[in-house]
Structure 1
Amino acid sequence: MNARPDHTGLPDDTELLTIGVFAARSRLSHKALRLYDRLGLLAPARVDAVTGYRWYRAGQVERARLVALLRRVDMPLAQIAEVVELPGPQAADALGAYWAGVEERAAVQRALVAHLRGRLSGERDANMYEVRTVEVAEQAVLCERKHLYSDELPQWIGASIGRLVQAAEGYGGVAAAPYVAYYAEVGPESDGPAEACVPVSEAGAATRVEPAQRLAYVRISKAQVAYPQILSAFEAVEEWVKEKGLTVTGPCREIYFADWDAAGPDDEVCDVAFPVSG
């Protein structure tokens, strides 16, 4: 059944290999080869209509090894099916994008584990956050308020701030970093409400004037913004405010001062803040 080698002495890519030989060359099990066939990832070159026995072309070994290596980095099979069909440079870009997502998820999980360890052990690291204060001048803001749960929050924040930034063009433009204020808990079972706010240069019919105020805040990374680990940042500020004998005078907030899409998992993007007095 095997084709003869060509004049170079190397097997022709059209050489047909039994499933056993192909499995050994590709370093894949018979079970994996049958699964990849069912998924359309790696179809045999020939299947005996009577016995169901499979043969593969020698030229399929490289694709089989690529599939196996992509599985080693836990790429989903559906995504592998797309990557292996791309030209080399595009496949490399797709792999890079996949791995960037893996690293971002890992950074978020590291922050969550740190948060959970502190909760479970009762030994929260007092030095994890540096609490600072800042004086904020009176400002006009455009706002959008909504009741929503924590799993709805990330998408809504981006969309609502985007709408408000666009509307800010009619009020002299954005004057300071956008923020989201929380008037009640937003969690898996509590729906807020939350309010997205964009400070603008000129007051108008659709704006609200926020008074001058002092903010106590901590600065956190993109990975630390994810729920529920962001709660440890809020708790750190609350504990600091209590220790200093201050009074919270308004809703807590997340102030987004950096380009979210351009930031990496460990880049600082957000201030978790409380208005305080005293």
Structure 2
Amino acid sequence: MARLLGIGEFARRSRLSVKALRLYERQGLLRPAVVDAGNGYRRYREDQLATARLVALLRRLDMPLSVVARIVAAPPDERAELLGGYWAGVEHRMAVQRGLAAHLRVVLSGGKGLVEMYDVKQREVPEQVVLTEQRHLLQPALVEWIDGSMGRLMRAAEAHGGVSDAPFIVYHGEVNEDSDGPVEACVPIGVAEPPSGVAARVEPAHREAYVRLTKAQVAFPQILSAYDAVAVWIKDNGHAVHDAPREVYFADFAAAGPDDEVCDIAFPMR
């Protein structure tokens, strides 16, 4: 029969406080093996120490109790994968917060260091025929609409020569909590002329200045620093903005990690 430990000894050996053990009992995360009906004394089996120590280590990662419970309840061969999934989310959140902190430093310093945050480059973009979808919407609805419109346009492109280059989003007006664009989703297709029966147009050849962003940097509002940096660079180098700014998505956004490059912020210029 397994040896039973009082709550005080169990707390010392598991490196958890008595208060924490009582909380985990109420949460159903770590229940005593025996609760004396007369005096309420709690006793734990000695073989519960491994679970208790695992809980203590997971909590040191600031892991919510709901996630701790999921890992503890999982079969041993699934626990590492669950931990990996949780930690990937933490790293993504931290990467986004780093970008937001950098954006706020620029805002609070009156724009100091803005251009130095990014490596602004130039390129020539050839004329393209694009399928398009346009919408007026506010920033909170933007990400969902981009995902949906890109999916629809890429499926439609299969009947018109296929996708020939990186899709992009054109901002014909500012999009935030108060301003609704409009925004235009564009998918280049492999044909010489806009096909009939679908929303399509010719995107003119142009020269553009751009910066490349990681997935974490694309988050709102820190992405606005990249727009500002390109606009300032264009002005400081004697150029002028020639057309609406755009986001060019050249990588699989869903599969990318927080530090993977996924998007260019670009301004056509002359």
Q: TM-score scaled by structure 1?
A: 0.89
- SS of 2:80 mapped into structure 1: helix
Q: What is the root-mean-square deviation in Å for CA atoms of aligned residues?
A: 1.7
Q: Which has the higher contact order (CA 8 A, sep 6+)?
A: 2
Amino acid at match of 1:224: Q
- State the secondary structure of the residue aligned to 1:170: coil
Greater shift after overlay, 254-263 or 240-249? 240-249
Matched, 1:69 2:60: no
Q: Which runs of 5+ in 2 are unaligned?
A: none
Identity %: 58
Secondary structure in 1 matching 2:251: coil
Deviation at 1:139, TM superposition (A): 1.4
- Which of residues 140, 154, 177 is equivalent to 2:143? 154
Closer/same/farther in 2, CA of residues 50 and 160 from structure 1, 3 Å limit: farther
Aligned twin of 1:144: 133
Structure 1 126/211 Cα, relative in aligned 2: closer, same or farther at 3 Å? closer
Whole-Å separation in 2 of the counterparts to 1:256 and 1:34 = 50
SS at 1:70 equivalent: helix
C-alpha distance after superposition, 1:235-263 (max 9, x if no partner): 11111222233332322110011122332
Q: Which residue of 1 aligns with 2:264?
A: 271
Distance in 1, matches of 2:190 and 2:157, equals 8
Q: Deviations over 1:69-98 (max 9, x none)?
A: 111011111111111111223110110111
Structure 1 segments (4+ residues) deviating >3 Å: none
Higher alpha-carbon deviation: 114-123 or 89-98: 114-123
8 A Cα contact 2:115 2:233, kept in partner: no
Alignment match, 2:208:
215
Q: Which residue number in structure 2 is paired with residue 54 of structure 1?
A: 42
Q: Quick one: which amino acid aligns to residue 227 of structure 2?
A: F
Q: Name the aligned partner's letter for residue 99 of structure 2.
A: A
Residue equivalent to 1:187? 176
| Aligned partner of 1:106 among 94, 100, 108 | 94
**Contact conserved, 2:123 with 2:208, CA < 8 A, in 1?**
yes
User: Matched residue of 1:196: which SS?
Assistant: strand
Aligned to 2:233: 240
1:3 — aligned with what? none
Distance in structure 2 (CA, Å) of the matches to 1:53 and 1:149: 58
Q: Partners of 1:241 and 1:64 in 2: how far apart? A: 59
Structure-2 separation of matches of 1:165 and 1:24: 60
Q: Distance in 2 between matches of 1:115 and 1:178?
A: 26
Change (3 A) 1:127 1:36: same
Shift of 1:269: 1.3
Q: Any conservation in 1 of the 2:114–2:225 contact (CA below 8 Å)?
A: no
Alpha-carbon offset, residue 125 of structure 1 = 4.3
CA distance in 1, matches of 2:30, 2:50: 11
Q: State the aligned residue count.
A: 265
Deviations 1:74-127 (A, max 9, x none): 111111111111122311011011111111211111111112112212322432
